[in-house]
Amino acid sequence: MDHHGFIHEKLDIKLLILFILSRLSAPVDRGTLDELCQRCDEGVGYFDYSDCLGELMASGHITEEDEEYTITEKGRRNVREVESSLPFSVRSRALKLIAPVEERLARAAMLRGEIENGEDGCHVALAMSDAKGEIISMRLLCADEEQAKKMRKTFRRRAEEIYGRIVEILCEEGEK
C-alpha cells in the first residue's frame, strides 16, 4: 500500500502522538487524538496508529484514564529529546491543528459543574473562572439528578452567555 506524506515508520507515528500530547494542557479523548494525528500527515494509517498508541501506553509514555489520554513525564522527556526529527511541516501542521483544541481545553478547565445528592435534595454547583480567579459560582436546587445533569450541560455550553444575562438582570433598574 502506498503511503503519502512524511510519516511512514511506527517510530515516527509514536513521536507524532507524543508531540501532540506534549502540547496539550489537559487530557484528550481518543477521537480528538485520532483526528489530530491523522490530519497532521497523510502517511499516518489508522491501524499503525492504533498499534503505536497501545505500545506507548504499554511502555509508560502515555496513560489512559476515563477514556482520555495524557503524556507522562517519561513521554515528555523522550519527545523533548527527539521532536526535531519530526519534519518541520508536520510539526507546523500539528501546532495549527492543536490550537483550537487547546482553546477548547482551556475553556473547559475554567468551568466547573458538580452534582450533589444530599438529605436536602439534589443540587448542581456551577462555577466559571478566568486566569485571575472565580467569576461566578452558584448552587441550585434541582428537581432530580436528570435536571441537574441538563443544567450542568447547558452551563458548560453557554456559561459566558448565562453569566452575561445574570449581570444584565442584576444591573437593571427596578420599576418605580
Q: What digits encode the pLDDT tens for the residues 34-56?
A: 999 888 877 788 888 999 999 99
Whether residue 3 is predicted with pLDDT greater than 60 in this model: the reply is no
Kindly report each contact of residues 24-27 with a partner whose C-beta sits within 8 Å and lies 24 or more positions away, as own/partner: 24/98, 24/101, 24/102, 24/105, 25/102, 25/105, 25/106, 25/109, 26/105, 26/106, 26/108, 26/109, 27/65, 27/66, 27/68, 27/69, 27/70
Mean pLDDT estimate for the chain: 90
Q: What digits encode the pLDDT tens for the residues 107-116?
A: 888 999 999 9
Which pLDDT does position 168 carry in this prediction?
93
